[in-house]
Amino acid sequence: MSNKETLLSVDDIEVFYGETQALFGVSLDVYEGELVTMIGGNGAGKTTTLRTISGLLSPRVGSITFKGDGIAGEGPDEIVKLGISQAPEGRMLFSGLTVEENLYAGAYHRSDEAAVEEDLEMVYDYFPQLPDLLDHNAEDLSGGQQQMLTIGRALMSDPDLLLMDEPSLGLAPQLVQTIGGIVEDLRDDGQTILLVEQNAELALDISDRGYVVQTGEVVASGPTEELRDTDAVRSAYFGQ
Protein backbone atom coordinates (compact mmCIF):
# COMPACT_ATOMS: atom_id res chain seq x y z
CA MET A 1 0.00 0.00 0.00
CA SER A 2 3.03 2.26 0.13
CA ASN A 3 2.21 3.78 -3.26
CA LYS A 4 -0.97 5.25 -1.78
CA GLU A 5 -1.07 8.42 0.23
CA THR A 6 -1.19 8.11 4.01
CA LEU A 7 -4.47 9.64 5.08
CA LEU A 8 -4.22 8.99 8.83
CA SER A 9 -1.18 8.31 10.96
CA VAL A 10 -1.48 7.55 14.66
CA ASP A 11 1.95 7.56 16.26
CA ASP A 12 2.68 6.09 19.68
CA ILE A 13 -0.33 7.56 21.49
CA GLU A 14 -0.89 7.11 25.21
CA VAL A 15 -4.38 7.86 26.46
CA PHE A 16 -5.73 7.98 30.01
CA TYR A 17 -9.14 8.02 31.64
CA GLY A 18 -8.28 10.13 34.66
CA GLU A 19 -5.19 8.41 36.05
CA THR A 20 -6.00 5.04 34.48
CA GLN A 21 -3.97 4.41 31.34
CA ALA A 22 -5.99 2.88 28.48
CA LEU A 23 -3.58 3.04 25.53
CA PHE A 24 0.14 2.27 25.75
CA GLY A 25 1.81 3.60 22.62
CA VAL A 26 -0.69 2.67 19.89
CA SER A 27 0.46 3.34 16.34
CA LEU A 28 -1.39 2.71 13.07
CA ASP A 29 -1.66 4.04 9.53
CA VAL A 30 -4.57 4.21 7.12
CA TYR A 31 -3.94 4.81 3.43
CA GLU A 32 -6.40 6.41 1.02
CA GLY A 33 -9.01 3.99 -0.28
CA GLU A 34 -8.27 1.31 2.31
CA LEU A 35 -10.52 -0.60 4.65
CA VAL A 36 -8.43 -1.16 7.77
CA THR A 37 -9.67 -3.01 10.82
CA MET A 38 -8.75 -3.00 14.49
CA ILE A 39 -9.68 -6.23 16.20
CA GLY A 40 -9.36 -7.45 19.75
CA GLY A 41 -11.37 -8.53 22.74
CA ASN A 42 -13.53 -6.41 25.03
CA GLY A 43 -11.60 -3.63 26.74
CA ALA A 44 -8.61 -3.94 24.41
CA GLY A 45 -8.56 -0.22 23.60
CA LYS A 46 -10.19 -0.22 20.17
CA THR A 47 -13.00 2.21 20.94
CA THR A 48 -10.62 4.41 22.95
CA THR A 49 -8.42 4.70 19.86
CA LEU A 50 -11.37 5.78 17.70
CA ARG A 51 -12.57 8.24 20.35
CA THR A 52 -9.10 9.78 20.42
CA ILE A 53 -8.92 10.11 16.64
CA SER A 54 -12.36 11.74 16.58
CA GLY A 55 -11.43 14.28 19.26
CA LEU A 56 -13.49 12.96 22.17
CA LEU A 57 -10.27 12.16 24.02
CA SER A 58 -6.80 13.73 23.83
CA PRO A 59 -3.59 11.71 23.89
CA ARG A 60 -1.22 12.58 26.73
CA VAL A 61 1.69 11.35 24.60
CA GLY A 62 2.08 10.83 20.85
CA SER A 63 0.63 12.40 17.72
CA ILE A 64 -2.21 12.00 15.25
CA THR A 65 -1.75 13.27 11.71
CA PHE A 66 -4.56 13.57 9.17
CA LYS A 67 -3.90 14.65 5.59
CA GLY A 68 -0.46 15.81 6.74
CA ASP A 69 -1.65 18.00 9.64
CA GLY A 70 -1.53 17.29 13.36
CA ILE A 71 -5.04 16.96 14.82
CA ALA A 72 -4.44 15.63 18.35
CA GLY A 73 -6.31 17.84 20.80
CA GLU A 74 -8.76 19.28 18.26
CA GLY A 75 -12.41 19.16 19.33
CA PRO A 76 -14.94 16.74 17.80
CA ASP A 77 -16.68 19.45 15.74
CA GLU A 78 -13.40 20.53 14.19
CA ILE A 79 -12.43 16.92 13.46
CA VAL A 80 -15.70 16.43 11.52
CA LYS A 81 -15.06 19.60 9.53
CA LEU A 82 -11.56 18.33 8.70
CA GLY A 83 -13.07 15.22 7.15
CA ILE A 84 -13.33 12.48 9.80
CA SER A 85 -16.74 11.12 10.72
CA GLN A 86 -17.65 8.35 13.15
CA ALA A 87 -20.48 5.81 13.21
CA PRO A 88 -20.24 5.16 16.95
CA GLU A 89 -20.75 2.02 18.99
CA GLY A 90 -24.27 1.90 20.38
CA ARG A 91 -25.43 4.03 17.44
CA MET A 92 -25.97 7.22 19.49
CA LEU A 93 -28.80 8.42 17.26
CA PHE A 94 -30.96 11.42 18.09
CA SER A 95 -33.78 9.18 19.28
CA GLY A 96 -36.48 11.86 19.35
CA LEU A 97 -35.74 13.00 15.80
CA THR A 98 -36.96 11.37 12.60
CA VAL A 99 -34.78 9.37 10.26
CA GLU A 100 -34.67 12.32 7.87
CA GLU A 101 -33.74 14.76 10.63
CA ASN A 102 -30.94 12.44 11.78
CA LEU A 103 -29.54 12.27 8.26
CA TYR A 104 -29.58 16.04 7.83
CA ALA A 105 -27.96 16.39 11.26
CA GLY A 106 -24.97 14.54 9.84
CA ALA A 107 -24.51 17.36 7.33
CA TYR A 108 -24.90 20.19 9.84
CA HIS A 109 -21.57 21.83 8.95
CA ARG A 110 -22.07 21.74 5.18
CA SER A 111 -23.39 24.70 3.18
CA ASP A 112 -23.62 23.29 -0.36
CA GLU A 113 -27.26 22.19 -0.41
CA ALA A 114 -27.03 20.52 -3.83
CA ALA A 115 -24.10 18.37 -2.67
CA VAL A 116 -25.98 17.45 0.51
CA GLU A 117 -29.00 16.31 -1.52
CA GLU A 118 -26.70 14.31 -3.79
CA ASP A 119 -25.20 12.55 -0.78
CA LEU A 120 -28.67 11.88 0.60
CA GLU A 121 -29.50 9.98 -2.60
CA MET A 122 -26.21 8.10 -2.26
CA VAL A 123 -27.16 7.05 1.28
CA TYR A 124 -30.53 5.84 -0.01
CA ASP A 125 -28.72 3.77 -2.64
CA TYR A 126 -26.68 2.02 0.05
CA PHE A 127 -29.65 1.66 2.42
CA PRO A 128 -32.84 1.30 0.34
CA GLN A 129 -34.95 0.75 3.47
CA LEU A 130 -34.36 4.29 4.72
CA PRO A 131 -36.51 6.29 2.24
CA ASP A 132 -39.62 4.46 3.49
CA LEU A 133 -38.74 5.35 7.09
CA LEU A 134 -38.01 9.07 6.80
CA ASP A 135 -40.91 10.14 9.04
CA HIS A 136 -40.25 7.49 11.69
CA ASN A 137 -38.46 8.42 14.89
CA ALA A 138 -35.04 6.84 15.20
CA GLU A 139 -36.02 5.16 18.47
CA ASP A 140 -38.79 3.23 16.70
CA LEU A 141 -36.49 1.52 14.22
CA SER A 142 -35.20 -2.05 14.51
CA GLY A 143 -31.59 -2.58 15.51
CA GLY A 144 -30.56 -3.21 11.93
CA GLN A 145 -32.36 -0.11 10.67
CA GLN A 146 -30.74 1.98 13.40
CA GLN A 147 -27.31 0.73 12.36
CA MET A 148 -28.02 1.65 8.75
CA LEU A 149 -29.12 5.11 9.85
CA THR A 150 -26.00 5.50 11.99
CA ILE A 151 -23.74 4.77 9.03
CA GLY A 152 -25.88 6.93 6.74
CA ARG A 153 -25.70 9.88 9.13
CA ALA A 154 -21.91 9.57 9.29
CA LEU A 155 -21.72 9.51 5.48
CA MET A 156 -23.77 12.73 5.30
CA SER A 157 -20.78 14.67 6.62
CA ASP A 158 -18.94 13.72 3.38
CA PRO A 159 -15.96 12.23 5.25
CA ASP A 160 -12.54 11.52 3.80
CA LEU A 161 -12.18 8.96 6.59
CA LEU A 162 -15.10 7.02 8.07
CA LEU A 163 -14.59 5.54 11.54
CA MET A 164 -16.90 2.61 12.28
CA ASP A 165 -17.21 1.23 15.80
CA GLU A 166 -18.75 -2.25 16.12
CA PRO A 167 -21.30 -1.98 13.29
CA SER A 168 -22.32 -5.65 13.70
CA LEU A 169 -22.91 -5.46 17.45
CA GLY A 170 -26.26 -6.90 18.50
CA LEU A 171 -27.42 -7.72 14.99
CA ALA A 172 -28.86 -11.01 13.75
CA PRO A 173 -26.37 -13.10 11.72
CA GLN A 174 -28.08 -12.34 8.40
CA LEU A 175 -27.91 -8.60 9.10
CA VAL A 176 -24.26 -8.88 10.09
CA GLN A 177 -23.50 -10.16 6.60
CA THR A 178 -25.62 -7.39 5.05
CA ILE A 179 -23.79 -4.67 6.97
CA GLY A 180 -20.44 -6.29 6.15
CA GLY A 181 -21.33 -6.24 2.46
CA ILE A 182 -22.28 -2.56 2.62
CA VAL A 183 -18.98 -1.71 4.33
CA GLU A 184 -17.16 -3.52 1.51
CA ASP A 185 -19.22 -1.64 -1.08
CA LEU A 186 -18.30 1.67 0.52
CA ARG A 187 -14.60 0.78 0.31
CA ASP A 188 -14.99 -0.39 -3.30
CA ASP A 189 -16.59 2.96 -4.12
CA GLY A 190 -13.55 4.81 -2.75
CA GLN A 191 -14.48 5.46 0.90
CA THR A 192 -11.53 5.11 3.29
CA ILE A 193 -12.61 3.27 6.44
CA LEU A 194 -11.12 2.43 9.82
CA LEU A 195 -13.28 -0.34 11.26
CA VAL A 196 -13.36 -1.48 14.88
CA GLU A 197 -15.07 -4.84 15.11
CA GLN A 198 -15.28 -7.58 17.72
CA ASN A 199 -16.48 -10.04 15.08
CA ALA A 200 -12.98 -10.96 13.93
CA GLU A 201 -14.17 -13.30 11.21
CA LEU A 202 -16.24 -10.59 9.57
CA ALA A 203 -13.55 -7.94 9.99
CA LEU A 204 -10.79 -10.09 8.52
CA ASP A 205 -13.03 -11.17 5.63
CA ILE A 206 -13.76 -7.66 4.41
CA SER A 207 -10.68 -5.62 5.36
CA ASP A 208 -7.41 -5.01 3.49
CA ARG A 209 -5.17 -4.78 6.56
CA GLY A 210 -5.61 -5.22 10.26
CA TYR A 211 -4.22 -4.34 13.67
CA VAL A 212 -4.68 -6.66 16.64
CA VAL A 213 -5.05 -4.72 19.89
CA GLN A 214 -4.68 -6.23 23.34
CA THR A 215 -4.70 -4.38 26.68
CA GLY A 216 -4.04 -1.03 25.02
CA GLU A 217 -1.23 -2.13 22.72
CA VAL A 218 -0.94 -3.22 19.10
CA VAL A 219 0.38 -6.79 19.28
CA ALA A 220 0.23 -7.66 15.56
CA SER A 221 -0.48 -5.99 12.23
CA GLY A 222 -0.44 -6.79 8.55
CA PRO A 223 -2.57 -7.88 5.58
CA THR A 224 -5.69 -9.60 6.89
CA GLU A 225 -4.99 -12.91 5.16
CA GLU A 226 -1.70 -13.09 7.08
CA LEU A 227 -3.29 -12.12 10.42
CA ARG A 228 -6.10 -14.65 10.30
CA ASP A 229 -4.22 -17.60 11.77
CA THR A 230 -1.69 -15.79 13.93
CA ASP A 231 -1.13 -16.48 17.60
CA ALA A 232 -1.96 -12.83 18.27
CA VAL A 233 -5.51 -13.21 16.95
CA ARG A 234 -6.05 -16.44 18.87
CA SER A 235 -4.63 -14.89 22.04
CA ALA A 236 -6.71 -11.70 21.70
CA TYR A 237 -9.96 -13.62 21.39
CA PHE A 238 -9.49 -16.93 23.11
CA GLY A 239 -6.70 -16.35 25.61
CA GLN A 240 -4.62 -19.07 23.97
The 10 Å CB-count burial string (b at 16+, else e) for 133-170 is beeebbeebeebbbbbbbbbbbbbbbbbbbbbbbbbbe
pLDDT value, residue 240: 46
| CATH superfamily of this structure's domain 1-83+160-240 | P-loop containing nucleotide triphosphate hydrolases (3.40.50.300)
pLDDT at 157: 96
Alpha-carbon gap, residue 165 to 193, rounded angstroms: 11
Please, which pLDDT band fits residue 1 given cuts at 50, 70 and 90? very low
Answer yes or no: are the C-beta atoms of 145 and 133 closer than 8 Å: yes
- What CA–CA distance (Å, rounded) separates 14 from 173? 35
- Domain ranges in the chain are 1-83+160-240, 86-158
Band (91; pLDDT cuts 50, 70, 90): low
Residue 123 pLDDT greater than 60, yes or no: yes
- For residues 4 and 189, give the distance between their C-alpha atoms in angstroms, rounded to a whole number: 16
Output the pTM of the full model: 0.93
pLDDT over threshold 80, residue 90: no
CA distances from 119 to 106, 132, 152 (A): 11, 17, 9
Mean pLDDT of the chain: 92
Residue 112 exposed, middle or buried by CB count within 10 Å (0-12, 13-18, 19+): exposed
User: What pLDDT is stored for residue 3 in this prediction?
Assistant: 64
Region of residue 179 (phi > 0: left; psi between -120 and 50: alpha; otherwise: beta): alpha
Q: Which of 20-24, 85-89, 158-162, 184-188 comes out lowest in average pLDDT?
A: 85-89
Share of the chain above pLDDT 90, in %: 81
- The whole-number pLDDT of residue 230 equals 77
Q: Which pLDDT score is estimated for 237?
A: 62
- Residue-wise pLDDT tens digits, 105-117: 999 999 999 999 9
**Crossing angle of helices 173-188 and 143-155, rounded to 10°:** 10
Q: Would you call 50 helix, strand, or coil by DSSP?
A: helix
pLDDT at 181 > cutoff 80: yes
For the chain, how far is it from start to end, CA to CA, in angstroms?
31
Q: Quick: pLDDT tens for 37-61.
A: 999 988 899 999 999 999 999 999 9
Phi, psi of 61 (to 5 degrees): -140, 150
Q: Find all residues with CB under 8 Å of 109, minimum gap 6, and list them.
A: 77, 80, 81, 157
d(Cα 203, Cα 101) in Å, to the nearest integer? 30
DSSP code, position 5:
P
Residue 141, SS3 per DSSP? coil
pLDDT at 133 > cutoff 60: yes
What confidence tens digit (pLDDT) does each residue in 165-179 have? 999 988 999 899 999
pLDDT in tens, 141-157: 998 999 999 999 999 99
